[in-house]
Amino acid sequence: MRLAEWIELGRMDEMGRMDTPVHRIDARVKSVTTIIFIIIVMSFPRYEVSALAPFLFYPLVLISLGRIPLGLIFRKILIAAPFAVVIGIFNPFFDRQAAVVIGPLVISGGWLSFTSIMLRFVLTVGAALMLVACTGMYRLCASLERIGLPRVFVVQLLLLYRYLFVVTDEGSRMMRSLELRSTGLYSLPLRVYGSLIGHLLLRSLARSERIYQAMVSRGFCGELKIMRQTTSLQRTDWAFLIGWTAFFVAARIWNLAGWVGGLLI
């Protein structure tokens, strides 16, 4: 599978143009709800695991109602997963104090904090990906600007998203050329991959410069004419925002997973 096929950048834009109950929710409401979700999830203590479980309900509901393929979101989470693993992988080695004892099984605080980091990573990244998939990048950037985000940041975010296509396109061409000129990608020495990364950067910069000159010749002056939202919020939008915010606050104050488990026991 080629790089562009694995990352599937264009697929997110296709998902954002669908017509489902989640897609019809105002982009500003979905943006604010997702920001609240991320803030509350990241506010949990480092050893907390069970209390984070109810927050899986939010991205799963969006996936179901928005008809977003679960495999698409899972593959994108896997791409960023190594960064979260690097952050928490050393916790079990430095924090060996017993935190939970289940019969003969003793779980150290390091493993709890590592599990908490990975769970929070899946929740926050999954929610952000669902926001893009259920909104589309252009509508998302327009909503961020309308809720008060600086225009400079919005323009940079949209340009970064668009230029990712340039990098993946150049990378796919280089990998295709390498496959045709070698016996196998895994048999090449590491110095070849270092050279490929350098050439990818140079080719991407050269192509981005040509794209920028084309934008300037068409009147680009530092502001992108992205789609503006002029509609007012509907009852369903307010219900979405208030309902999910109330659920997030309740799950933060009370351990809903522990409460349900106690009822079952």
Mean pLDDT of 68-83: 84
Q: Is the pTM of this model over 0.85?
A: no
| Residue 6 scores a pLDDT above 70 | no
* pLDDT band at residue 228 using 50, 70 and 90 as cut-offs: low
pLDDT value, residue 189:
67
Select from 263, 241, 256, 259 the least CA-distant residue to 56. Answer: 256
| Residue 1 scores a pLDDT above 60 | no
In tens, the pLDDT along 176-192 reads 777 777 666 566 666 77
Mean pLDDT of 130-151: 84
pLDDT value, residue 183:
64
Select from 190, 186, 41, 59 the least CA-distant residue to 116. Answer: 41
pLDDT value, residue 8:
62
Mean pLDDT of 51-71: 88
pLDDT value, residue 148:
81
Q: Are 73 and 133 in contact (CB under 8 A)?
A: yes
The string over 185-204, giving b where at least 16 C-beta atoms fall within 10 Å of a residue's C-beta and e elsewhere, is eeeeeeeeeeebeeebeebb
Mean pLDDT of 139-164: 81
Hey, CA dihedral for 89, 128, 66, 59, is it positive or negative?
Answer: positive
In tens, the pLDDT along 14-29 reads 787 888 888 888 888 9
